[in-house]
């Protein structure tokens, strides 16, 4: 936001186009400031307030802000589209605080889906500094309706705000004022304290009187995430349908197959008709026929025999079977819905059956690089074990093989690497294992075993351990390589190596 040559404060896009200009009613603005409570204030030359953001709210209010009668909040269309959305919170002239849905683009209000019924008072919506919200009678400061049912948290620990979201829920949020670094990772988002209406499934609120077609439009399906995710509402299309507008998922869905028409259409050939079974699904208010005492098979048959039927909804309790026609409205999905939806489709639109899907799943697995890499890892382990046992059955000399590819270290080098043999990571029969870092490469860790008794038996046993467990060292290197290349957390037979009691042996672990 900048102040132009006419002293007006304007908001421009990156190309310099004017998006908004502060209305000052002929006054000359001299400066602007954001107060500690978040209120953006524009002052004239005498430092009188000529415009305040608190008096012209959009979709959000902050603690300390008051909503007066004949004031509204309007939602956005989506989380990324900040155009006017389909919901409105209004403190009406009669004092009633109401949530409405709006038909677009006509802007006609539908029936309210929430109201405080606080008529006949001089109502104000108060959002306190402590994060609590209520409707108050301005004449005597009496609280007449409390909207905050949950603890918003201390104002000393949290910031607060309230917003009417794109899904029509008016939510109170909180955010930590200071990050607590002791927790490792701290939340960087606003967490919902409470939603209004105070229900977990907003989809059930919207009906034929709230929206034409329902929250997600004709043929669409509304679902709500769990409370831990904020209880947000999402729209989707059932199997065999696609979105009318990929940028507006609430606009409804269209079938990807020809509609039944009872005039020699595909539905007339019953051998070419199948049903897609969807659990926890329902489309209320579009049924034209009800059959009672039916089982699941009979319910599908009822729809199959009726060329007008496009979806059958089955309720096991009571044996209810509702037959529905296009377009479907008020679609919703919820684990609380015990009904089963059967969508009539041509055979070509039926999902792959389980017996066929096994082949598909195996093909996908075999085609994935991760699966092949795991197979390669297992095969390598088996090959190494086989070679190890093969070598065990052939004559070999301990001393000669031990001498190959092993670097010698002085006592001083090992003492420096282990910082004076301080960090013990294990003890063996003839010595102690220490952790260290090579001075030449700080990214390489070493495990060093220091002999406790310099006796012939101890040294001989150590050499035997090294030769007998050479294959474990090979597996270690292979595991490290796979862990690096694949990014998997592969169990490593390395450091500190519980299977071998290391002596002044230095095992170098590549970073």
Per-residue tokens: 87 = 């919901």
Q: Place 122 in a pLDDT band, splitting at 50, 70 and 90.
A: confident
The answer on 387 and 346 residing in a single domain is no
Average the pLDDT over 156-170 and give the result. Answer: 93
What pairs with residue 271 in β-bridges?
none
CA separation, residue 47 to residues 5, 8, 24, 41, 64 (Å): 19, 15, 13, 10, 22
With a cut of 50, say whether residue 267 has pLDDT above it.
yes
Q: Is 320 left (phi over 0), alpha (psi -120 to 50) or beta?
A: beta
Q: Which residues are paired to 224 by β-bridges?
A: 233
Burial 231-247 (b: 16+ CB within 10 A, else e): bbbebebbebbebbeee
Q: Tell me, what's the pLDDT at 10? A: 87
Which residues, 6 or more positions from 117, have their beta carbon under 8 angstroms from its beta carbon?
96
Strand partners, 299: none
- For 1, 19, 238, 364, the CA distances from 32, given in Å and listed in that order, are 10, 18, 51, 60
C-beta atoms surrounding 367 within 10 Å: 9
Strand 221-224 to strand 233-236: parallel, antiparallel, or no bridges (unpaired)? antiparallel
User: Cα(164)–Cα(171) distance, rounded to whole angstroms?
Assistant: 6
**Residue-by-residue DSSP string for 2-29:** EE-TTS-EEEE-TTS-EEEE---TTPPE
225 shares its domain with 255: yes
Q: Please tell me what DSSP assigns to residue 228.
A: G
Determine, yes or no, domain membership for 337: yes
Q: Among residues 324, 353, 321, which one has the least CA distance to residue 340?
A: 321
User: What local confidence, expressed as pLDDT, does residue 131 receive?
Assistant: 93
Distance CA 490, CA 445 (A): 18
Residue 147 is predicted with a pLDDT of 92
Q: Are residues 270 and 327 in the same domain?
A: yes
| Residue 384 covered by a domain | yes
Task: Tell me which of 260 and 334 has the higher pLDDT.
Answer: 334
Q: Which of 291, 323, 351 is the last residue of a domain?
A: 351
pLDDT for residue 220 = 92
Q: Give residue-wise pLDDT tens across range 56-97.
A: 899 999 999 999 999 999 999 888 888 899 999 999 999 999
The per-residue pLDDT for 362 is: 41
The residue range of the domain holding 41 is: 1-56
211 and 338: one domain?
yes
Closest CA to 80 of 247, 231, 216, 250: 247
**54 pLDDT above the threshold of 70:** yes
Q: Tell me, yes or no, whether 112 lies in a domain.
A: no
Same domain, 504 and 370: yes
503 pLDDT exceeds 60?
A: no
Q: So what's the pLDDT on residue 312?
A: 95
Interatomic CA distance for residues 476 and 241, integer angstroms = 52
Q: Which residue positions form the known binding site for ATP? A: 450
Pair 337, 370 in one domain:
no
- The b-or-e profile of 112-121 (16+ CB within 10 A means b, else e) is bbbebebeeb
Q: Does residue 235 lie within any of the structural domains? A: yes
Confidence of residue 16 (pLDDT cuts 50, 70, 90): confident
Work out the pLDDT band at 228, boundaries 50, 70, 90.
low
Identify the domain boundary among 351, 385, 405: 351
Specify the higher pLDDT residue, 367 or 124: 124
Residues 269-291 have pLDDT tens digits of 888 899 999 999 999 877 899 99
Q: Are residues 370 and 465 in the same domain?
A: yes
Q: Rg of the Cα trace of the chain? A: 36
Instruction: Examine the pLDDT at 239 and tell me if it is beyond 80.
Output: yes
At residue 285, the pLDDT reads 79
Asked whether residue 286 falls in the same domain as residue 409, the answer is no
Mean pLDDT score, 297-308: 92
Higher pLDDT, 263 or 201: 263
CA atoms within 13 A on the CB side of 396: 17
Q: Is the pLDDT of residue 261 over 90?
A: no
What is residue 212's predicted lDDT score, i.e. its pLDDT?
65
Check whether residue 252 and residue 303 sit in a common domain: yes
Residue 63: inside a domain, yes or no? no
134, 308, 360, 420, 466 from 425: Cα distances, Å: 61, 76, 48, 14, 19
Distance in angstroms (rounded) separating the CA atoms of residues 299 and 215: 27
Per-chain mean pLDDT for the chain: 76
Quick one: 442 and 478 in the same domain? yes
- The pLDDT, as a whole number, for residue 511 is 38
Query: What is the mean predicted confidence (pLDDT) over 395-400?
Result: 37
We report the CATH number of the domain holding residue 226 as 3.50.4.10
Q: Is residue 136 part of a domain?
A: no
More confident residue, 501 or 14: 14
What secondary structure does DSSP assign to 323-392, as a single string? EE-SSP-SEEE-TT---EEEEEEEGGGSPPPHHHHHHHHHHHHHH-HHHHHHHHHHHHHHHHHHHHHHHH
Mean pLDDT of 307-329: 92
Residues 391 and 486 in one domain: yes
What are the pLDDT digits (tens) for 403-457? 344 556 677 677 777 767 767 766 655 567 777 776 555 546 677 777 654 444 4
Query: Do residues 416 and 469 share a domain?
Result: yes
Question: Which residue ranges make up the annotated binding site?
Answer: 450
Is pLDDT of 507 > 50? no
Q: Which of 72-86, 144-158, 346-360, 394-408 has the lowest mean pLDDT?
A: 394-408
Question: DSSP character for 166?
Answer: T
**464 phi, psi to nearest 5 deg:** -65, -40
**Does residue 61 lie in a domain region?**
no
SS3 category, 199: coil
Higher-pLDDT residue of 10 and 162 is: 162
Q: How many domains in the chain?
A: 3
Give percent of the chain above pLDDT 90: 29
The pLDDT of residue 315: 94
Distance between CA 301 and CA 344 in Å, rounded? 11
In this structure, is residue 221 part of a structural domain? yes
The length of the chain, given as a count of residues:
511
Contact 300, 342 (CB under 8 A): yes
């Amino acid at each position: 936001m900048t102040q132009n040559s006419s002293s007006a404060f304007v908001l421009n896009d990156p190309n310099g186009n004017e998006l908004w200009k502060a209305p000052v009613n002929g006054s000359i603005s001299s400066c602007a400031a954001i107060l500690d409570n978040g209120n953006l204030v524009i002052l004239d030359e005498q430092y009188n307030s000529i415009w305040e953001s608190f008096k012209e709210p959009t979709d959000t209010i902050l603690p300390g802000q008051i909503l007066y009668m004949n004031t509204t909040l309007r939602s956005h269309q989506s989380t990324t589209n900040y155009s006017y959305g389909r919901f409105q919170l209004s403190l009406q002239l009669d004092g009633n605080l109401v949530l409405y849905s709006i038909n677009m683009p006509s802007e006609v209000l539908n029936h309210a889906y929430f109201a405080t019924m606080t008529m006949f008072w001089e109502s104000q919506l108060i959002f306190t500094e402590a994060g609590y919200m209520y409707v108050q009678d301005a004449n005597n400061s009496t609280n007449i309706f409390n909207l905050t049912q949950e603890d918003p948290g201390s104002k000393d620990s949290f910031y607060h705000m309230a917003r009417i979201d794109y899904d029509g829920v008016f939510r109170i949020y909180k955010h930590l004022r200071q990050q607590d670094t002791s927790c490792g990772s701290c939340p960087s988002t606003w967490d919902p304290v409470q939603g209004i209406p105070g229900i977990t499934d907003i989809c059930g609120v919207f009906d034929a009187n709230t929206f034409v077609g329902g929250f997600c439009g004709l043929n669409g399906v509304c679902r709500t995430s769990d409370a831990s995710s904020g209880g947000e509402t999402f729209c989707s299309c059932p199997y065999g349908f696609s979105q009318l507008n990929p940028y507006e998922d609430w606009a409804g869905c269209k079938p990807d197959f020809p509609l039944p028409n009872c005039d020699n259409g595909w539905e007339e050939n019953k051998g070419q008709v199948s049903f897609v079974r969807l659990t926890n699904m329902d489309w209320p208010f579009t049924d034209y026929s009800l059959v009672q005492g039916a089982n699941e098979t009979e319910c599908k048959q009822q729809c199959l025999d009726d060329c007008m039927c496009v979806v059958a909804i089955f309720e096991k309790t009571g044996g209810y079977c509702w037959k529905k026609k296009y377009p479907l409205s008020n679609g919703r999905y919820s684990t609380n819905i015990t009904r089963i939806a059967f969508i009539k489709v041509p055979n070509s639109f039926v999902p792959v059956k389980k017996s066929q899907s096994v082949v598909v799943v195996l093909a996908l697995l075999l085609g994935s690089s991760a699966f092949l890499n795991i197979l390669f890892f297992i095969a390598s382990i088996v090959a190494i074990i086989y070679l190890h046992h093969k070598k065990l059955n052939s004559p070999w000399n301990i001393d000669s093989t031990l001498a190959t590819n092993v670097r010698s270290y002085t006592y001083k080098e090992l003492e420096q690497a282990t910082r004076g043999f301080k960090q013990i990571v294990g003890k063996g029969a003839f010595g102690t294992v220490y952790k260290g870092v090579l001075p030449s490469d700080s990214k390489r860790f070493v495990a060093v075993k220091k002999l406790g008794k310099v006796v012939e038996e101890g040294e001989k046993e150590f050499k035997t351990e090294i030769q007998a467990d050479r294959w474990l060292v090979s597996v270690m290197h292979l595991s490290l390589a796979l862990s690096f290349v694949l990014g998997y957390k592969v169990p490593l037979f390395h450091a500190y190596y519980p299977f071998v009691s290391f002596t002044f042996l230095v095992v170098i672990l590549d970073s």
